[in-house]
Amino acid sequence: MILFEEVLSSNNSENDIFNEEFIRKLEYWSLIFRRIYSGELSASRRSKEVGAGIEFSDRREYFLGDDFRYIDWKAFGRTEKALLRLFVEEKDLQVNILLDSSASMGVGEPPKIESAKKLAAAISYMVLFNLDRVGVTIFSENVTHFLPPARGKGRMIRIFEMLRNVSAGGKTDLMKLAEKMTSSIKGGGLSMVISDLMVGSGFDECLSRLMYYGSEVSVIRVVAPEDKNPVFLGDLRLIDSETGETQNITVTPGMISRYKEAFDKMSEVLESTALKRGARFVTVSSSLTFDEQVSIVLRAMAKRK
């Protein structure tokens, strides 16, 4: 409740995207989060280390340079092999939220960026409620805002302040994001990507790089109804929201049908790519209510990979 009271007292505007009603919802969802997801977070903390922790877990072969104090001499007497005792250690968990603020996130009514900001705030609040560390990175073609992982009631206020100032603009560059995040994710933990994934390439490479440095990855794809179901027909000038490139076309019902098929195919490829890499993947619509979006995300995140 201390976190709730501090965050609530920092809000002075009913028109704020993070108003009192929204913050009260965060308190409710944080309780749900702790109940259904705490096991996953605990598992993410646990690692096998030589001589670390107090819970015995396993043994492994002794190698030159290992600390001989942790040799299991009883096992040596039985097997005549030098084996080291491994213990389970619970490490401090950190969650890195990577939020896409590229121009395509401005599509929809309400725009996708609004849903993404609320989800980022919700996840941050839940992690802090669980007494873990959370960091937030805002990116498009470059990293535009960055808060390193930290805990404490002041962290949520800082996150709200940062998210309030985020607007959609620029291109998406997932590879540059992964490169910039290298130093922050080397300690492992969870990386949660929130994006519409309107990218031509780089998704698989981004996941690979994030996981290479020991981070578990979850992907929350935010889509708008307009992404899949454009309502325009006739002569149009298309403008790419991220590159500014234009093209004159005549939109026919057949073209709309082919576009929908291509969108569905792209969605399948994105999800299968994430799952093959061992990441969690969930899609939410920006047209849903905040409660519906959070419910979908929590159900997906609680499932075993």
CATH architecture of the domain with residue range 2-43+93-221+280-302: 3-Layer(aba) Sandwich (3.40)
Closest to 223 (Cα-Cα) out of 121, 112, 304 = 112
Which residue has tokens 């049908």?
257
Query: What is d(CA 165, CA 136) in angstroms, rounded to the nearest whole number?
Result: 13
Better pLDDT: 77 or 218: 218
- Of 191, 217, 91, 208, nearest to 136 by C-alpha is 191
Q: Where are the domains of the chain?
A: 2-43+93-221+280-302, 51-90
Helix ranges, the chain (H): 2-9, 20-45, 73-79, 112-129, 153-164, 174-185, 203-212, 225-228, 253-276, 290-302
Q: What is the pLDDT of residues 17-73, one digit of tens each?
A: 888 899 999 999 988 887 765 555 554 544 444 444 444 455 666 566 666 566 666
110-124 pLDDT per residue, tens: 999 999 999 999 999
Cα gap 62→45, rounded to integer Å: 25
Sequence-distant (6+) residues with CB within 8 A of 240 are 246
Q: What pTM, to 2 d.p., does this model score?
A: 0.79
> Tokens 């997906």, residue?
300
